[in-house]
């Protein structure tokens, strides 16, 4: 296979730059009809062999029905849902919610709009393609860690910082502008409901996370995983944990997402009308390990139809004091001392933007050694 040919004169950085500067993304490569992927997308044998392992016998991540808790006075029912959310966040780090209050038509319109953006000719998308200022505005790119990761992954992304500073709506691509704004509002409402349940699961007041501005920093990312001609040589997104508080994920029916549960990988089957919620590293830290962030990955897409997913990463906007955070004091006691030290805002961002995406690297850095 051409992608695997040994070549001592191979200039990886030159190929990366040529691909990046073409602004065509992997969708452009896929649409061109190529049959062999560029070498910088090929992952090492140890990564690929892990992908070949059979997935878990578990059929799916937990599914939690939120009907009846929004504006409901039925406290017993709410306590039951709190317990389900707590258990899922503690043992899986991932769960799907149904009957969350967002009409299926809104979900479908959001997916359609993001697909429409990625389906445009690359010359049209190119004006949004950039890498500078990853911490604000709107950008389209292939692999946000293209130059930091050891191997590239087979996906393109449209990224928009929706908060804490309000985004200039006119900066969004016109083809998906209204849908992105509407989805930010709907997903934030779902996230607020879920955060309330997570708070109650920890014995906190329902509004504690909102009070701590955990809903205010929001990054919306619309991923496209187009057909890959050699899906056994690369990945859609490499295995990682999310760095923030929680993530709300909307996906189309094309599979590929896998979650690690124990030592096995579980295929996440899209549930019609469902939204996926996952705990981030920040939530694991502030909950002092009560809730767990969990590794997940996306397989390279072997289907002719693109996989589309829209994620919103939620994180805090206001740090404590001169810019630090750590386990919430309300959750600590002599019987349950802190298992993580405080960390700074600078540490948080440097840890994420200094390398490729990875698994719990900040958690490992700040874990208090016995």
Q: Are 154 and 41 in contact (CB under 8 A)?
A: yes
Helix and strand element counts for the chain (H, E): 11, 14
Find the helix or strand (DSSP H, E) in which 56 lies: none
pLDDT tens figures, 198-215: 999 999 999 999 999 999
pLDDT tens figures, 127-141: 999 987 667 899 999
Give residue 8's pLDDT. Answer: 56
Q: Are 34 and 68 in contact (CB under 8 A)?
A: no
CATH code of residue 190: 2.60.120.330
Which long-range contacts does 333-336 make (Cβ < 8 Å, 24+ apart)?
A: 336/288
What predicted TM-score, i.e. pTM, was given to this entire model?
A: 0.93
15 is a domain residue: no
Give residue 250's pLDDT. Answer: 98
Give residue 58's pLDDT. Answer: 61
More confident residue, 178 or 321: 178
* Rounded distance between C-alpha atoms, residue 287 and residue 200, angstroms: 12
Closest Cα to residue 297, out of 154, 137, 170, 156?
154
At 52, list the tokens.
Answer: 């070949």
pLDDT tens figures, 262-301: 989 999 988 999 999 999 999 999 999 999 999 999 999 9
Residue 250, sorted as left (phi over 0), alpha (psi -120 to 50) or beta, turns out to be beta
Please report, to the nearest 10 degrees, the dihedral formed by the alpha carbons of residues 18, 22, 23, 25 taken in order. -70
Alpha helices per DSSP H over the chain:
12-22, 25-31, 45-52, 75-91, 104-119, 122-125, 177-201, 208-211, 281-286, 345-353, 361-366
20 is a domain residue: no
- What's the total number of domains in the chain? 1
Q: Are 308 and 118 in contact (CB under 8 A)?
A: yes
Give residue 71's pLDDT. Answer: 61
* Rounded distance between C-alpha atoms, residue 216 and residue 167, angstroms: 12
For residue 47, pLDDT over 60 is answered with: yes
pLDDT tens figures, 158-200: 999 999 999 999 999 999 999 999 999 999 999 999 999 999 9
For residue 1, pLDDT over 50 is answered with: no
Give residue 43's pLDDT. Answer: 95
Q: How many residues does the chain have?
A: 370
Q: Are 301 and 254 in contact (CB under 8 A)?
A: yes
At 234, list the tokens.
Answer: 């690369």
Find the helix or strand (DSSP H, E) in which 206 lies: none
* Rounded distance between C-alpha atoms, residue 233 and residue 222, angstroms: 24
Give residue 5's pLDDT. Answer: 46
9 is a domain residue: no
* Rounded distance between C-alpha atoms, residue 350 and residue 343, angstroms: 12
* Domain ranges, residue 290: 28-366
What's the half-sphere exposure (Cβ side, CA atoms, 13 Å) at 272? 1
Q: Are 160 and 128 in contact (CB under 8 A)?
A: no
Cα of 40 vs its chain's centroid, Å: 23
260 is a domain residue: yes
Lowest pLDDT segment from 2-16, 21-35, 121-135, 224-238:
2-16
Across the chain, mean pLDDT equals: 92
Give residue 53's pLDDT. Answer: 65
139 is a domain residue: yes
Q: Are 159 and 184 in contact (CB under 8 A)?
A: no
Can you tell me whether residue 137 is helix, strand or coil?
A: coil
36 is a domain residue: yes
17 is a domain residue: no
For residue 34, pLDDT over 70 is answered with: yes
* Rounded distance between C-alpha atoms, residue 202 and residue 195, angstroms: 11
Can you tell me whether residue 199 is helix, strand or coil?
A: helix
At 280, list the tokens.
Answer: 């981030």
146 is a domain residue: yes
């Amino acid at each position: 296979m051409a992608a695997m040919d040994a070549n001592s004169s191979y200039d990886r950085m030159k190929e990366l730059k040529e691909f990046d500067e073409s602004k065509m993304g992997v969708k452009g490569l896929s649409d061109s009809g190529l049959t062999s992927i560029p070498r910088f997308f090929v992952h090492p044998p140890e990564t690929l062999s892990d992908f070949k392992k059979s997935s878990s016998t578990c059929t799916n991540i937990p599914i939690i029905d939120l009907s009846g808790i929004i504006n409901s006075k039925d406290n017993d029912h709410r306590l039951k849902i709190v317990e389900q959310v707590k258990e899922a966040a503690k043992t899986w780090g991932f769960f799907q919610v149904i009957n969350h209050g967002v009409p299926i038509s809104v979900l479908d319109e959001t997916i359609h709009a993001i697909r429409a953006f990625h389906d445009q000719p690359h010359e049209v998308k190119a004006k949004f393609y950039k890498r500078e200022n990853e911490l604000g505005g709107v950008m389209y790119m292939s692999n946000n860690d293209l130059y930091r990761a050891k191997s590239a992954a087979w996906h393109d992304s449209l990224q928009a910082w929706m908060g804490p500073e309000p985004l200039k709506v006119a900066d969004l691509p016109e083809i998906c502008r209204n849908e992105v704004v509407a989805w930010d509002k709907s997903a934030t409402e779902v996230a607020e409901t879920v955060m309330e349940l997570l708070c109650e699961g920890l014995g906190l007041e329902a509004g504690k996370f909102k009070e701590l501005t955990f809903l205010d920093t929001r990054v919306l990312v619309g991923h496209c995983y187009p057909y890959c001609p050699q899906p056994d040589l690369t990945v859609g997104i490499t295995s990682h944990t999310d760095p923030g508080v929680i993530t709300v994920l909307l996906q189309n029916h094309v599979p590929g997402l896998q979650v690690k549960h124990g030592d096995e990988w579980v295929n996440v089957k899209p549930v019609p009308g469902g939204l996926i919620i996952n705990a981030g590293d920040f939530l694991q830290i502030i909950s002092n390990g009560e809730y767990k962030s969990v590794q997940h990955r996306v397989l390279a897409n072997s289907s002719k139809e693109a996989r589309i997913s829209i994620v919103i990463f939620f994180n805090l906007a206001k740090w404590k004091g001169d810019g630090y955070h750590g386990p919430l004091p309300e959750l600590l006691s002599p019987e349950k001392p802190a298992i993580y030290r405080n960390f700074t805002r600078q540490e948080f961002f440097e840890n994420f933007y200094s390398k490729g995406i990875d698994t719990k690297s900040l958690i490992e850095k700040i874990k208090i050694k016995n």
